[in-house]
Structure 1
Amino acid sequence: MAGMDEALRVGVVGAGPWAHRVHAPGLYAHPATRLAAVWARRPDAAKALAEPHDAAVVDSFDELLDSVDAVAFAVPPAVQAELAPVAARTGRHLVLEKPLAADPDGARAVVDAVEESGVAALLMLTRRFSPEVQDWLAGVRELGGWQGGTGRWLAGGLLAGDYAASQWRQERDGALIDAGPHAIDLLDAALGDIEQVRYAHRSDDDLWQVVFGHATGATSTLSLSLRVPVQPAVVEFAVYGEHGLAPLVGRRTAARECYAHMLDDLLAMIREGRSDHPCGVRRGLHLQQVLVQVRNAARAQP
């Protein structure tokens, strides 16, 4: 394992669009990390990802683990839930995608492995690592007194383009399991833990309307779809209460910049021997449980 005075050697599992756009260039550009190896089910795809970033292509997951200090996953949730515990139990730190798994049992298995091994692990809830969101959440929490909130996440990402061929994203609940963790996380972080899904409806074209009840007594609503042909995407959040309306405003930090901030946090956790973080695996398990509640509430509708 590399010492903390050396670059952290990271291996990427998966070679899809997000690995190309964010994981590989982000690890390559960060001064304290090195993209050391890539493993994917298609060797040609792994080679296309690895070569521009001076990384090795390996033939197996075990070979990847032997050559790195940390693993970044860019694979479907069910695959991540299978492989991440193996990596954690070999002492490899983790960069995890959302949702953490395909179901709460899989998410809990990742949590157990991370906590038993004591490795650092972060869930790439992209916007949570952006300065504008961190400033907004800090202000919201300092003021308090919020009665409710709203969120709208409307985009056309599943209609065409890179993700049109992503099978797990094209399933019936595609918008909920893809963008849902991001949106739910922001409302939950601003207003307190979501304890109840009071209402959920999914239209035939994958438009979700959800009402949440929070531990603080606040209520929030979410409109969510990745099949609306709007350009640019509509991503809006706000809370309201005794201080009026507090919208999330400011420039939307690019995903690669958020990724760099996430790597900064991961490296600090490793250096300080910490496992706690607002976007750690426990967060992933909580979001996974809320996703199930939303899905069940929607299916209960006549």
Structure 2
Amino acid sequence: MDGALRVGLVGAGPWAHRVHAPGLREHPGTRLAAVWARRPEAAEALAAEHGADAAGSVDELLDAVDAVAFAVPPSVQAELAPRAARAGKHLVLEKPLAADPAGAEGIVQAVSESGVAALVVLTRRFAPEVRHWLAELRELGGWQGGTGRWLAGGLLAGDYAASPWRQEDDGALVDAGPHAIDLLDAALGEIEQVLFARRDAHGLWQLVFGHRGGATSTLTLSLRVPVQPSLVDFAVYGEHGCAPLGSRRTAARECYANLLDDLLAMVRDGRTGHPCDVRRGLHLQRVLADVLKAR
């Protein structure tokens, strides 16, 4: 790789403004080269703010970049990400990968066939405190169960409350669920069963998972609880007692910079495997589908 990786951004919503665009502009190894969105005026405004070009079409964006970052609803990502991969572009993908497992499988197939690097923005997995916690858990072993809580009010007010796909009945599960499920899965082993799933009339989810190796975990999830700050905590327990994930939360922009570090290393070394690659995204998509079936 000679010089900065030219990255195109698809999407111009709140997350694109807050994380993707500034993160790509500020990282020394990347350059935000182009922005495309279904609303041209939104793409033009975001591109102008960060010194990028506004692309008139997806094809125009693909012609101008080495990689593509997505900040769009899952169904749109499932439509456009395979096109980018087959054009030989490395990918930064949002979670969930798609609206259903079939869409996620399409992305994985395109990435596998093209051999591009592709990472999923599982933000907390790129936080130093989470990486340290997971490494300690793996070193000790002997964990029998775990708990997680992800309670926030993001769908009650603010930018994300205006997002139609997040406001659907299963919006909290689809939006925050991949993050929370990923942490429990990484801590205790691959989730193989959804033992219980319930969503009440207020959008509060109660979930119980069975993990490979015999551990079980519980997750309480909602984006309609008016708590400030958000209540996000995880812990595992077993023969070594209880091991909570510390209260420190690295900012999303710093986590995104760590993700870009990893993506650049993958591109440089010609690697496609990573703990947060598209195959991870497909596994989480399948767990989401199992939750919806068990509800």
| TM exceeding 0.5 | yes
One of 22, 33, 40 as aligned partner of 1:36: 33
Matched residue, 2:82: 85
Matched residue, 2:221: 224
Query: What SS does the corresponding residue of 1:206 show, helix, strand or coil?
Result: coil
1:150 aligns with 2:147: yes
Q: Which amino acid aligns with 1:215?
A: R
- State the shift of 1:5 in Å: 2.8
Q: What are the Cα deviations for residues 181-236 of structure 1, in whole angstroms up to 9, with x where unaligned?
A: 00000000000000000001100111000000000100000000000000000000
Q: What are the Cα deviations for residues 115-171 of structure 1, in whole angstroms up to 9, with x where unaligned?
A: 000000000000000000000000001100001000000000001100111011011
One of 57, 60, 77 as aligned partner of 1:63: 60
Q: What are the Cα deviations for residues 91-126 of structure 1, in whole angstroms up to 9, with x where unaligned?
A: 000000000000000000000000000000000000
- State the shift of 1:43 in Å: 1.1
One of 46, 56, 67 as aligned partner of 2:43: 46
Structure 1 stretches of 5 or more lacking a match? none
- State the shift of 1:47 in Å: 1.4
C-alpha RMSD over aligned residues: 0.5
Distance 1:280 1:227 in 2: 30
One of 252, 265, 268 as aligned partner of 1:268: 265
After TM superposition, list the pairs within 5 Å mapping 1:1-302 onto structure 2. Answer: 4-298=1-295
Q: TM-score, normalised by structure 1?
A: 0.97
- State the shift of 1:250 in Å: 4.3
Counterpart contact for 1:71–1:87, Cα < 8 Å: yes
Distance 1:13 1:97 in 2: 11
Q: What are the Cα deviations for residues 256-286 of structure 1, in whole angstroms up to 9, with x where unaligned?
A: 0000000000000000000000000000000
| Percent identical | 77
Distance 2:118 2:202 in 1: 35
- State the shift of 1:295 in Å: 1.0
Distance 1:58 1:88 in 2: 18
The aligned length equals 295
Query: What SS does the corresponding residue of 1:68 show, helix, strand or coil?
Result: coil
Structure 2 stretches of 5 or more lacking a match? none
Distance 1:262 1:201 in 2: 33
Counterpart contact for 1:132–1:250, Cα < 8 Å: no
Query: What SS does the corresponding residue of 2:187 show, helix, strand or coil?
Result: helix
Distance 1:296 1:88 in 2: 30
Distance 2:128 2:153 in 1: 26
After the TM superposition, list the runs of 4 or more consecutive aligned residues in structure 1 that deviate by more than 3 angstroms.
none
- State the shift of 1:44 in Å: 1.1
Q: TM-score, normalised by structure 2?
A: 0.99
